[in-house]
Amino acid sequence: MVPDALNLTNVHTFYGDSHILHGVSFTLPSGNVLALLGRNGAGKTTCISTIIGFLKPRQGEIRLFGKRIEGFPPERISHLGIGLVPQGRRVFPSLSVRENLVVAERRRRSTARPWTVERVYDLFPRLSERHAQFAGTLSGGEQQMLAIGRALMGNPSVLLLDEPSEGLAPQIVAEVGRTLGRLKEQGQSIVLVEQNRKLALEFADSAVILNTGRCVFAGSTLELLEDERIIEQNLGVYHGH
């Protein structure tokens, strides 16, 4: 039996003296997409930072395919198979598109079909057209594609996406959505932090809602969509599914 891709159990994280995550627990089955939702300041980015190792939990366990990783440095967590597309994209502006991808390349013996520059170009043809262009001169949408492509070049077993549609025009958001769909079809395990919950819930198999650092919902997307009260209380008014 394949172990779950990611497990958080009773995770408590602090920023200095501030207690941000209060006993957060959730499970991401292998090959699934989990939407991590909540208002601004709910603790979503802190949760991502704790998984990737930027912050160390004071308490609790984080397991990647059954192996404990909490408290490891970010480089080690990345080597073990967690990829991050950070909020704000953070591409290397003075490197070309191709150089941004090549610098992130990491092969894994366990990867049947590894990500290569050509495979990223197949996912994002626009990056192929811009391959020699400095990343700092790309549009916001192109930089987001590059940030996703760069994370995939590490051949992650779990991909963390922190607000991928933030600040993007609607047609680019739709393109990000199509990309999520293709990655899901290919069996990529994903944790998606997203303010645009229509986008998030369209692709997610399950959802977790954080409110002031606590899990107030963890279940299937269908369960969440049937509970408008939880959505309104924790995410604001929701129009349509």
When computed from its CA atoms, the radius of gyration of the chain, rounded to whole angstroms, is 17
230 & 168 share domain: yes
Name the domain boundary from 117, 135, 153.
Answer: 153
163 & 235 share domain: yes
53 & 20 share domain: yes
93 & 70 share domain: no
Q: Is 52 helix (H, G, I), strand (E, B) or coil?
A: helix
pLDDT in tens, the chain (241 residues): 778 999 999 999 999 899 999 999 999 999 999 999 999 889 999 999 999 999 999 999 999 999 999 999 999 999 999 999 988 778 999 999 999 999 888 876 665 788 999 999 999 999 999 999 999 999 988 999 999 999 999 999 999 999 998 888 888 888 889 999 999 999 999 999 988 888 899 889 999 999 999 999 999 999 999 988 998 899 875 444 4
166 & 120 share domain: no
Distance (Å, rounded) from C-alpha 10 to C-alpha 8? 7
67 & 122 share domain: no
137 & 240 share domain: no
CATH number at residue 237: 3.40.50.300
72 & 102 share domain: no
Name the domain boundary from 153, 177, 210.
Answer: 153
Distance (Å, rounded) from C-alpha 166 to C-alpha 84? 15
75 & 161 share domain: yes
Name the DSSP class of 96. Answer: B
User: CB burial class (10 A; 0-12, 13-18, 19+) of residue 172?
Assistant: middle
94 & 28 share domain: no
CA distances 141 to 85, 96, 145, 186, Å, are 13, 16, 6, 22
User: How many domains would you assign to the chain?
Assistant: 2
pLDDT digits (tens, 9 = 90+) for 76-114: 999 999 999 988 778 999 999 999 999 888 876 665 788
Q: Is 151 helix (H, G, I), strand (E, B) or coil?
A: helix
Name the domain boundary from 108, 130, 153.
Answer: 153
102 & 142 share domain: yes
49 & 166 share domain: yes
Domain that holds residue 34: 1-81+157-241
